[in-house]
Structure 1
């Protein structure tokens, strides 16, 4: 997985309600957008509100030792811990593979043998009938 579960565990530590609400939000597919940049250690996304017809923008900066260094959410509790932030961290663990991370496919390409270049004659060899006809034309 691209995002360690430890970020989520440290964020929800000691708050059972936050733990449960974030799990419900991920299972209910309330995470609408998720972007993760491992170089900047930044997570950004959008999470649907639980009971309302709106969504919240979240920005999270990941710190050392699997902690959240800084975070903000548009919701009422956005300056503190909220389940929208926790949902984004949990979603990142459960749903993001290494190929979803920005430019990871460029950094670690699969190695393989170089492709052989073929000429047109190799791709489309003349049929035996045409080959005999062309030799017959040369003798005239």
Structure 2
């Protein structure tokens, strides 16, 4: 999972109106720009206002335990909780996939021990009764 729904759930906990307005904003494509930096633990974006021809810049610092550490929005409620921030968090959950997030692989694959090849006899050893049968018939 690249972006957890728990960020949105914790941010909107106890505020049904906030969660509903953010769902409507995401469904109505009001999130115009979205940037997620997993290493720096922040989300930035531009969210269109509900009823106006205006958009707001939103920045969210993600904290531990899926909580929002710090956030700003240019709207009137920007210093407090607003549905622009909530919609950015919900948008992240619905649209960020594992392939969108920077991945890491083993740095030195030569340091990994090579796999040992196994033969069919190693994988499927002969049962004792067949071994005894061959010895008895010779």
Q: TM-score, normalised by structure 2?
A: 0.74
Aligned residue pairs total 106
5 Å-filtered alignment, 1:41-80, equals 41-80=41-80
Partner of 1:25: 25
Partner of 2:89: 89
Unmatched segments (≥5 aa) in structure 1: 110-140
Per-residue CA distance 1:101-136 (angstroms, 9 max, x = gap): 2xx15x249xxxxxxxxxxxxxxxxxxxxxxxxxxx
Moved over 3 A (4+): none
Query: Aligned-residue CA RMSD in angstroms?
Result: 1.3
Per-residue CA distance 1:39-88 (angstroms, 9 max, x = gap): 01000000000000010000000011110000000000000000000000
* Alignment of 1:98 onto 2:81: no
Partner of 2:15: 15
